[in-house]
Amino acid sequence: MSPQANTGALKVELGRRYRFAASHRLHSGQLSEEENQRLYGKCNNPHGHGHNYVLEISVSGKVDPATGMIANLADLDGFVEREVLELFDHRSLNEEVPAFRDKVPTTENLCVEIFRRLKSFSAAKLERVRVEETNNNSFEYTADDLMDSTEVGAHAEGNKL
Ligand code: NI
């Protein structure tokens, strides 16, 4: 018998993957037109461009001895649908998501905003939000580095539209 068998409920982490498509334009109101162009390159083009984002979230909790689960996936899916997918999918992040009216919709900032929106999930503890922007880029945010309102301005995407 393992030592954990005596502790009652066991903590387990659950990962779940979602997809959404959205467009964005990387442009900071704190920089000049020239600086924006130099920093963001093609990602600063006025009409924006789209990504097929992959969102991975991890939540943790104790295994309920009765159900054998830490949370009902249907509850989690419904929560993510309401809090994130309905608002972000097939939207212009800059123009249709209020959080990005004054904040550059880099994937760094997207991770933080999604974390902020999902942290109130009541059935389990949100551990991590990971967003893949392209096959080459992903960003991850955890509660441990909860920041002040400092904006993440850099974009790691480079030329990989
Ligand atoms: Ni982009």
What would the two tokens of residue 28 be?
């900071």
Distances (CA, A) of 124 to 33, 61, 79, 150: 44, 5, 12, 27
pTM: 0.84
- Residue 111 a catalytic site member: no
Q: What proportion of the chain, given as a percentage, has pLDDT over 70?
A: 84
- Residue 83 a catalytic site member: no
Question: What's the DSSP call for residue 81?
Answer: I
Report the separation in Å between the CA atom of 14 and the middle of ligand 1, taken as the mean of its atom positions. Answer: 28
Q: What proportion of the chain, given as a percentage, has pLDDT over 90?
A: 81
As residues whose CB is below 5 A from the ion ligand 1, the structure lists 43, 157
How confident is the model over 9-62, as pLDDT tens digits? 789 999 999 999 999 999 999 999 999 999 999 999 999 999 999 999 999 999
Whether 22 and 92 have beta carbons less than 8 Å apart is answered as yes
- Residue 133 a catalytic site member: yes
Check whether 153 has a pLDDT greater than 60. no
Among candidate residues 50, 62, 59, the one with its CA nearest the CA of residue 26: 50
Q: Give the CA-trace dihedral at 144, 145, 149, 155, to 10 degrees.
A: -140
Topology of domain 16-145 in CATH is: Tetrahydropterin Synthase; Chain A (3.30.479)
